[in-house]
């Protein structure tokens, strides 16, 4: 991200404590949501005959497009550099998204998220000191899978690829754009055929590239690329969306 914090960051990534916690919460959230949806579907079948494909396509809880915003909390992560702990402060996060339905249960989605954080430096045996403000911007394009698209309550799995743009205030540091990806679990609850609420937990992973090349031998040539994850991030967010 700079001459001081360059692409070789010497990554010891906070032992992925935040990553472990987020993965556990994601799994528990989806398991509970999927069990609730399954119970709802079984109860629905017991009360009424099976719906035809034409009737299902006219379900009031289906939509072609969704657009909404969210607000929540970002677990921003930390890493070690030259014997010092570099801490990205946990802060509120916000953003918005637009999703288009490809078929019932499958959506393509673009989302943007931002967090205004700080970069802290902690030397051994000393308290952490603020070094600079740091704006974190996520730009992602991906997909959503809903196992129960015809229900009011819809658990989902999400995944996306894109970039993360880090912008520090400190003039000695340069902005840095890193490739990133995410996966998450969440739910949608339709309050009305055109209005719903959405909650989600996501694991966010920026990736740096540190060169590459070709190796040739008697068996031929092959290429390689050196990559790594400097630190894991995650967020817990919720908000209102419009369906149309």
Mean pLDDT, rounded, for 138-161: 97
pLDDT confidence band for 173 (50 / 70 / 90): confident
Q: Where are the beta strands (DSSP E) in 76-194?
A: 78-81, 84-88, 91-103, 106-122, 129-145, 153-168, 176-192
Residue 6 has what pLDDT? Answer: 44
Residue 42 has what pLDDT? Answer: 55
Give residues with Cβ within 8 angstroms of 98, minimum separation 6. Answer: 65, 66, 67, 109, 110, 111
Give residues with Cβ within 8 angstroms of 210, minimum separation 6. Answer: 7, 8, 226, 227, 228
Residue 81 has what pLDDT? Answer: 72
The per-residue pLDDT for range 10-36, each reduced to its tens digit, is 444 444 444 445 545 455 555 555 555
Strands 153-168 and 84-88: unpaired
Walk me through the domains of the chain, giving residue ranges and CATH numbers: 14-48+59-243 (2.40.160.20)
The Cβ of residue 16 has, within 10 Å, a number of other Cβ atoms equal to 14
Please tell me the distance from the alpha carbon of residue 233 to that of residue 204, in angstroms, as a whole number: 5
The per-residue pLDDT for range 181-226, each reduced to its tens digit, is 999 999 999 999 999 999 999 999 998 766 444 455 455 555 444 4
Please tell me the distance from the alpha carbon of residue 161 to that of residue 163, in angstroms, as a whole number: 7
How high does pLDDT run on average in the chain?
80
Residue 28 has what pLDDT? Answer: 53
Please tell me the distance from the alpha carbon of residue 139 to that of residue 83, in angstroms, as a whole number: 32
The per-residue pLDDT for range 53-92, each reduced to its tens digit, is 554 557 899 999 999 999 999 999 887 777 788 899 999 9
The dihedral built from the CA positions of residue 17, 22, 27 and 31, taken in this order, carries a sign that is positive
Residue pair 203/186 in contact (Cβ under 8 Å)? The answer is no
Largest CA distance in the chain: 69
Q: Alpha carbon 90 to chain centroid distance?
A: 15
Mean pLDDT, rounded, for 37-41: 52
């Amino acid at each position: 991200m700079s001459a001081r914090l360059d692409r070789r960051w010497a990554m010891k990534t906070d032992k992925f404590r935040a990553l472990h916690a987020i993965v556990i919460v994601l799994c528990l959230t989806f398991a509970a949501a999927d069990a609730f949806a399954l119970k709802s579907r079984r109860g629905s079948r017991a009360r009424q005959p099976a719906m035809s494909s034409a009737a299902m396509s006219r379900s009031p809880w289906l939509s072609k497009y969704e657009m909404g915003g969210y607000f929540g909390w970002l677990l921003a992560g930390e890493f070690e550099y030259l014997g010092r702990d570099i801490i990205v402060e946990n802060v509120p996060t916000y953003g918005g998204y637009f999703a288009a339905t490809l078929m019932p249960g499958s959506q393509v989605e673009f989302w943007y998220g931002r967090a205004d954080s700080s970069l802290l430096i902690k030397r051994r045996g000393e308290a952490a000191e603020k070094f600079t403000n740091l704006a974190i911007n996520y730009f992602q394009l991906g997909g959503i899978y809903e196992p129960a698209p015809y229900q009011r309550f819809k658990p989902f799995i999400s995944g996306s690829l894109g970039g993360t743009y880090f912008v520090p205030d400190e003039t000695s540091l340069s902005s840095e754009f890193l490739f990133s990806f995410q996966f998450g679990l969440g739910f949608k609850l339709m309050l009305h055929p055109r209005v719903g609420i959405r909650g989600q937990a996501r694991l966010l992973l920026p990736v740096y590239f540190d060169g590459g090349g070709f190796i040739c031998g008697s068996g031929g040539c092959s290429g390689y690329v050196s990559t790594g994850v400097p630190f894991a991030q995650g967020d817990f967010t919720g908000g209102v969306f419009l369906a149309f």
